Chain A
């Protein structure tokens, strides 16, 4: 006990280099924090944005064309890509959590594999639906 603790310098302070290079978040941790970040983004601004687009596009024929033109702007496309990623990742990670709630895939090996699958599936869905924008 004493020898084990003597090897490491304690207390360990959380400075920027430590956060960037020494402490690495495990893959399930990445899925988790990205689930939060994507969820927060979906709350604001993306839901407001989606409602604005739905409102404009359903208002009139001119509004529909205006929304279509708006979605062709490069910066808007970039924002849309982030929107699609946030939704895709949040959805895939959410499905994984539902399985974890049912005690499926809770062992470390499976949890790591499914984490990689969630990250990959989120990016793949973003690529598929993002491609439709261009």
Chain B
């Protein structure tokens, strides 16, 4: 089959990013669950202590970035499949990006205040 090779990476970057971030999200979730289970019964001091650790803050920030990137690829896929009018799709995509950027800002505020 002949195909016209134009454009850039045919979505490979997003496809790969979705999977790499997925693996990091899964590993972080398992680690976080283990840490919380390890600190039962959970007190405020222990909870605060977990997020005071430098590596935990960095890991959580990486987790937040991964989550936002992963969500962007996924939600954009959903919008591309179900929302056909260009204007509406564009407006929704902008809205999604604003929500995701707010999430990231909020997460940074919580972690580094």
Please provide the 5 A-B residue pairs with the shortest distance between their CB atoms, ordered closest to farther.
A64-B44, A61-B44, A43-B71, A39-B74, A55-B110
Interface residue ranges of A6-56 to B (CB < 8 Å): 36, 39-40, 42-44, 47-48, 51, 54-55
A98 within 8 A of B: yes
| Interface status of B69 (Cβ within 8 A of chain A) | no
The 21 sampled A-B contact pairs (Cβ below 8 Å) are: A36-B78, A39-B74, A43-B99, A44-B99, A47-B67, A47-B103, A48-B103, A51-B103, A51-B106, A51-B107, A54-B110, A55-B109, A55-B110, A57-B44, A58-B48, A58-B51, A61-B44, A65-B44, A91-B26, A98-B22, A101-B19
Main secondary structure, interface of B, reads helix
Most chain B beta-carbon neighbours within 10 Å: one of A43, A48, A98: A43
Q: What is the distance, in angstroms, from A33's C-beta to the closest C-beta of chain B? A: 11
Give the complex CA separation of A40 and B48 in angstroms: 30
* Contact, CB under 8 Å: B106 / A55: yes
**A-B pairs with beta carbons under 8 A, tally:** 47
- Indicate whether A42 sits within 8 Å of B71 (C-beta atoms), given known contacts A48-B103, A51-B107, A51-B110: yes
Q: Which residue of B lies closest to A48 (CB)?
A: B103
